[in-house]
């Protein structure tokens, strides 16, 4: 079998603990990162990541290697479980677009330079991504952070390619508006570097 | 069919400035407990897991109402007073004598079956009771 994941998975199904550990270590971090960025909580992301691998172990027929990679499959399971968690919190997960809330935008009124000095840019980005509607957020995280292809993302979120592109475009537009003060701060040194070069 | 890997067209839509800013958000380290939980789950489900290990690690999910009802039934069965023993039935009709058949003289049992020959033809004769 040419696919290393497929080979490891078959051995894991046969009870090979080493093969399962290899497989788990290949995918645990990306899956945990994705789920954490969707939900913003380490304990919940841990539970969801654990559950994703349990689905892989217990529902053997659900993963079809001819249709998608194991990474895509696990992300799809993680995505569905994350949306379930969000629904439990009362978050609307079915609509593409939500009205932008001024309250949730990270400190636009505060001086961006002050926040930069305090090292809060990370928090600002986190809040800005968290303020995206879930359907835009998942696409943005998978593309920008997990570097998945648009076609893979379309499989994971069960949408067509055009929908994925539209959601990604809207997410970026929204983030540019939300983070514009921070973006202007970051671009200055870059332009200087370009001029120097 | 599997979709192709990331293409240059995918990256063409990328905004490098925004991407750099997004990288500011880092994810905390994986909790150690996840590895332990995962390994325990694998071992519990592994076909190579020994019976005693599966016996001690397998869990059953019982709905709370069912569990409570079972406990209640158990408690009732334990605390319920034992029923009185049933007295022997007394018949109104007096017994008219012994009704059991009894052999006065047991037929002698041979020590061995040597010389025994089964009958070739059996004739059964029914005698009336007063013929004795």
pLDDT at A173: 93
pLDDT under 70: residue ranges of chain A: 1-2, 93-119, 184-197
pLDDT more than 90, % of chain B:
21
Residue A102: predicted pLDDT: 44
> B37-63: per-residue pLDDT in tens?
999 999 888 766 566 666 666 667 788
CB of A54 within 8 Å of a chain B CB? The answer is: yes
Interface residue A34 vs chain B (CB under 8 A): no
Q: Looking at residue A104, what is its pLDDT?
A: 45
d(CA A145, CA A104): 22
The residue of chain B nearest to residue A180, with distances taken between CA atoms, is B18
Q: Per-residue pLDDT for B71 more than 70?
A: yes
Given this model, what pLDDT does residue B7 score?
73
Whether A96 and A135 have beta carbons less than 8 Å apart is answered as yes
Rounded to the nearest angstrom, the minimum Cα separation between A53 and chain B is 8
Instruction: Pick the residue from chain B with its C-alpha nearest to A190.
Output: B17
Instruction: Give me the pLDDT at residue B58, please.
Output: 66
- Hey, are the CB atoms on B49 and A15 less than 8 Å from each other? yes
pLDDT of residue A150: 93
pLDDT at site A117: 53
Q: What digits encode the pLDDT tens for the residues B86-117?
A: 565 555 555 555 555 555 666 666 667 777 77
* Portion 170-189 of A in contact with B at CB < 8 A: 172, 175-176, 179, 182-183, 186-187
Q: Could you tell me if A108 and A181 are in contact, meaning their C-beta atoms sit under 8 angstroms apart? A: yes
The per-residue pLDDT for A194 is 38
Retrieve residue A63's tokens.
Answer: 């993963």
Q: Give burial (CB, 10 Å; 0-12/13-18/19+) of B18.
A: buried
The pTM of the full predicted model, rounded to 2 decimals, is: 0.65
Chain B residues in contact with A44 (beta carbon < 8 A): none
């Amino acid at each position: 079998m040419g696919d290393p994941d497929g080979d490891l998975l078959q051995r894991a199904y046969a009870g090979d603990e080493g093969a399962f550990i290899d497989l788990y270590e290949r995918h645990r971090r990306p899956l945990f990162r994705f789920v954490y960025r969707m939900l913003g909580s380490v304990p919940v992301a841990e539970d969801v990541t654990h559950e994703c691998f349990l689905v892989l172990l217990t529902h053997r027929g659900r993963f079809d290697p001819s249709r998608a990679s194991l990474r895509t499959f696990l992300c799809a399971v993680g995505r569905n479980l994350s949306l379930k968690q969000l629904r439990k919190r009362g978050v609307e997960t079915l609509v593409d677009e939500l009205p932008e809330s001024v309250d949730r935008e990270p400190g636009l009124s505060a001086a961006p330079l002050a926040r930069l000095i305090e090292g809060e840019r990370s928090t600002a980005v986190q809040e800005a991504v968290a303020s995206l509607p879930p359907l835009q957020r998942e696409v943005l995280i998978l593309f920008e952070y997990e570097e998945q292809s648009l076609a893979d993302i379309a499989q994971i979120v069960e949408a067509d390619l055009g929908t994925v592109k539209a959601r990604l475009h809207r997410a970026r537009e929204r983030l540019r508006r939300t983070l514009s003060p921070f973006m202007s701060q970051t671009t200055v040194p870059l332009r200087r570097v370009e001029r120097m070069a | 069919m599997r979709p192709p890997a990331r293409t240059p067209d995918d990256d063409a839509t990328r905004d490098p400035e925004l991407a750099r800013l997004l990288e500011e958000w880092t994810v905390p380290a994986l909790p150690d407990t996840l590895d332990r939980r995962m390994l325990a789950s694998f071992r519990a489900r592994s076909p190579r897991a020994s019976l005693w290990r599966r016996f001690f690690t397998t869990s059953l999910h019982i709905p709370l109402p069912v569990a409570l009802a079972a406990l209640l039934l158990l408690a009732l069965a334990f605390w319920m007073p034992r029923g009185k023993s049933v007295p022997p039935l007394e018949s109104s009709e007096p017994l008219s004598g012994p009704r059991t058949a009894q052999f006065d003289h047991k037929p002698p049992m041979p020590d061995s079956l040597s010389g025994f020959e089964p009958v070739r033809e059996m004739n059964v004769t029914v005698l009336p009771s007063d013929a004795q």
